[in-house]
Amino acid sequence: MSYRYPDFHPVQEQQTAITHPPGPLLIIAGAGTGKTATLLHRIRYQVITKQMNPENILILTFTEKATNELITRISDLDIPNSEQITISTFHSFCYNIVQNYVNPENHKTSLMERHDIAFMILNRINELTFLRSRQFRLHPRDAIENAFIPFFNRVRDELISPIELSLLIDESNFTVDSVHKIFPGLSPKADPDEALKQLRDLIDVYTIFQTWKHESNVVDYGDMIQQCW
């Protein structure tokens, strides 16, 4: 069947992507080259040619702003039954899966923002009596913002649970002689003993922080991805 592109004039590569049959397809292009338009017209083409059902289409973005933009643009394209297409951020999509299919009806968790995380840890900092790092003890606010939260986020990005994290750490390697193998980017001027203490503290605080959230029935953005996984 013939297909018309409303207000869009694709180049050959874009047209190839748009008409590519349902299945894996990787599109690589620079900023402003029409990636989003190509993606949306691919969806429109697949729906109109009845190769895809709108209810089976999922679009994931990194930000709420991008999600809202896509909802508007899909509506403007006049795609049949476009309201059945699921458009969401990665985090919201994962969160909804856990809430709808894992947690019981009476167990809904609340979302923590970054400032909520900082407040929770700072409010309970006196419970972290095990802290070994002198810097962490002297400057708790800096530790939370510049060490704890970035470390927590990286661990969840790598889909590592507290148990898995503890298994990955071999205590026999926690020596001053091996510190530069653990931290290859560590400055020669840095105190290797302090670096090891900070790593131990980060692991221990991460574990207890996950417990605190579970007790308070809250999750953060990293949990949304990890719990779904």
Partnered with residue 58 across adjacent β-strands are: 86
- The residue with tokens 């991008």 is 66
Backbone angles phi, psi at 110, to 5 degrees: -100, 155
* 198-216 pLDDT per residue, tens: 988 999 999 999 999 999 9
Which of 13-17, 21-25, 27-31, 103-107 is the least confident region?
103-107
Instruction: Let me know if 27 is exposed, middle or buried by CB neighbors in 10 A (0-12, 13-18, 19+).
Output: middle
* Predicted pLDDT of residue 184: 78
- When pLDDT is averaged across residues 170-185 and rounded to a whole number, the result is 70
Residue 61 pLDDT level (bands cut at 50, 70, 90): very high
pLDDT at 176 over 80: no
pTM of the model: 0.72
pLDDT at 171 over 70: no
Residue 149 pLDDT level (bands cut at 50, 70, 90): very high
Residue 103 pLDDT level (bands cut at 50, 70, 90): low
pLDDT at 137 over 90: yes
Average pLDDT value for the chain? 88
pLDDT at 1 over 60: no
34, 12 contact by CB (below 8 A): no
Instruction: Let me know if 200 is exposed, middle or buried by CB neighbors in 10 A (0-12, 13-18, 19+).
Output: middle
Angle between helices 149-157 and 221-228 (to 10 degrees): 20
Residue 132 pLDDT level (bands cut at 50, 70, 90): very high
As a whole number of angstroms, the distance between CA 219 and CA 201 comes to 21
